[in-house]
Amino acid sequence: MKLFTKNMIILVVVVVLAIVPLFIARGAEFGGADGQAEEAIMELNANYTPWFKALWEPPSGEIESLLFALQAAVGSGFVFYYIGYSKGKQVSNKREEA
């Protein structure tokens, strides 16, 4: 099987995995763990007051999502840069030994 064909199959599988849940859970609310934790705490103790306040509150949920995605992208960039650097260093060391 050619590399292009394998890549296209993987791409189709990824797209299907990303889109199918949107149709299966139509009308569902995709909330984060923060909201669920807050609800659980209020259910257990209605008089609870948070001991820490955020330094800055994003103006909207979209901006908050954007910042979260940006944080994830930068973090994964560092991780995969290190993996690529380590692999390149390993290949370079093997060539020098040979």
16 — pLDDT class (breaks 50, 70, 90): very high
The predicted-structure confidence for 63-87, as pLDDT tens digits, reads as follows 988 999 999 999 999 999 999 999 9
Q: What is the pLDDT of residues 17-45, one digit of tens each?
A: 999 988 887 777 767 787 888 889 999 99
92: confidence class by pLDDT, cuts 50, 70, 90: very high
Token pair for 52: 């820490």
The predicted pLDDT at position 21 comes to: 84
Question: Is residue 64 a contact partner of residue 58, using CB atoms and an 8 Å limit?
Answer: yes
Instruction: Give the predicted TM-score (pTM) of the model.
Output: 0.51
For the chain, the straight-line distance linking the first and the last C-alpha, in angstroms and rounded, comes to: 32
Question: Cβ distance 48 to 42 under 8 Å?
Answer: yes
